[in-house]
Chains A and B, each alone.
Chain A
Amino acid sequence: MDFVVGDRTRLRLGEQEALSRFLSEPGEESFGEFFRAVAPRVFSYFRARGCETALAEDLTQEVMIAVFRQVGTLRQNESFRPWLYRVAKNVLLQFLRRKARQVDTVELDTVTKEPGNRDADPLLPVQFLEWMASLEEDERQIMMSRYVEELEYHEIAEVLDIPLGTVQWKIFHSKKKLAARFGPQSS
């Protein structure tokens, strides 16, 4: 295969258009367009979950390579975005498992930081991270999926493999919790 990065001055295709093209004409050029449309979302997914830039780039590449190899397994009626974020979630889990195995023998640089840590990353909005840190882990994942990845409720249910009703209640519960803790009447 002869992969080329291509001309970035061309207009970027939309995500759906790029996906359709990649599925109908799989190859390096269509993958390049597809990559440009999708990789920023994946990168943002990892950054929002506390990964530093270099790590987020590596994990994004892992996801995109997995997508390149496995996109043929996407069922006809299956939505792409939940599938993509399931791949991203699995890549992050694998990384965290590997990292956990290393902790006892190797002193690691801190490559991921707890969301909400004020020192985490000065570029990220502190208030959002603080709010997310105040939620339970399952609530945080749902709220990030909803607001950062902008997934619909049914897509969140697919990504996290939980019932739709649970997604609705958790989002409502989280907002109520945030309103009570950080809202104007909280003090």
Chain B
Amino acid sequence: MRDDFSNEHFSGTEWLSYLDGGPGAATGNEMKTHVENCPECGGFAASIGAVRAILSEQAGQLREATALSDEALDSMLTSCFSRLRSTASAEGRTRWSASEAIVLLRVLVEPICGRGTAGATIDLALRRSTASNEGSVTEGNWSLFITNFSDLMASVCGSAAGRLVNRAGFCLAVARG
């Protein structure tokens, strides 16, 4: 092979077109005949074909291995509906101030991680949400705060705690600052 794709017989573009089923019938047939009779070109085409076959087979196995059960799908759908519902009904619902909502979340996580960790985690999430203290969290950056808080909780106490915070947080309607 002279360079990345071409060899003595065909250019890289010709190979690309041939293996991808691209060229006109005449060129394709001519090349096909050559490839069938040339050990070098035949070997190259066969190796590319083998790689393609393995990739297709293995990717199929990966899709099977990552298939979702009906139960998992239902659970995710229920959770999505819950988040959508909380947003949809937020307009007509009693809204919490940011401070009140954070207190509620603190009460939720303290039994899981302890008072000190709960406070430190909330403070860090507040700083990362461009809010220096609880008073500066508003409706606008509430989502970011919840995302940061749940990520931190997941890091400190595990993914289940993170998801709990995430879901509870998105269900709370926070008043405009």
Contact of A147 among B12, B55, B166 (CB under 8 A): B55
B interface, size bucket: 35 or more
A98 near B148 (CB under 8 angstroms)?
yes
Contact of B163 among A5, A58, A64 (CB under 8 A): A58
Which single residue of chain B is at the shortest CB-CB distance from A94?
Answer: B147
In whole angstroms, how far apart are the Cα atoms of A183 and B48 in the complex?
9
B73 near A36 (CB under 8 angstroms)?
yes
B66 near A47 (CB under 8 angstroms)?
yes
B148 near A127 (CB under 8 angstroms)?
no
B159 near A54 (CB under 8 angstroms)?
yes
B58 near A5 (CB under 8 angstroms)?
no
Q: Interface of chain B, helix or strand or loop or mixed?
A: helix
Contact of B77 among A39, A54, A143, A176 (CB under 8 A): A39
Contact of B65 among A123, A127, A183 (CB under 8 A): A123
Number of A positions contacting B (CB below 8 A): 58
Is B52 part of the contact surface with A, judged by Cβ < 8 Å?
A: yes
Closest Cβ of chain A to B74, distance in Å, is 5
Is B72 part of the contact surface with A, judged by Cβ < 8 Å?
A: yes
Contact of A172 among B5, B79, B156 (CB under 8 A): B5
B48 near A179 (CB under 8 angstroms)?
yes
Q: A39-B68, A184-B50 are in contact. Are A3 and B5 (CB under 8 A)?
A: no
B43 near A185 (CB under 8 angstroms)?
yes
Which single residue of chain B is at the shortest CB-CB distance from A180?
Answer: B47
Q: Interface of chain A, helix or strand or loop or mixed?
A: helix
B16 near A43 (CB under 8 angstroms)?
no
**Which residues on the B side are within 8 Å of A8 (C-beta)?**
70, 73-74
**Which residues on the B side are within 8 Å of A173 (C-beta)?**
4-5
B77 near A5 (CB under 8 angstroms)?
yes
Contact of A44 among B58, B66, B77, B128 (CB under 8 A): B66
Contact with B along A121-150 (1 / 0, CB 8 A): 001110110010000000000010001101
Contact of B83 among A65, A109, A183 (CB under 8 A): A65
A interface residues (Cβ-Cβ under 8 A, vs B): 1, 3-5, 8, 28, 32, 35-36, 39-40, 43-44, 47-48, 52, 54-58, 60-61, 64-65, 68, 98-99, 101-102, 105-109, 111, 123-125, 127-128, 131, 143, 147-148, 150, 168-169, 172-173, 175-176, 178-179, 182-185
B interface residues (Cβ-Cβ under 8 A, vs A): 4-5, 12, 15-16, 19-20, 43, 47-48, 50-52, 54-56, 58-59, 61-63, 65-68, 70, 72-74, 76-85, 88-89, 124, 128, 147-148, 151-152, 154-156, 158-160, 163, 166
> Could you list 12 examples of A-B contacts with CB < 8 Å?
A8-B73, A35-B76, A44-B62, A44-B63, A60-B76, A99-B151, A101-B128, A111-B154, A123-B65, A125-B62, A125-B65, A169-B16
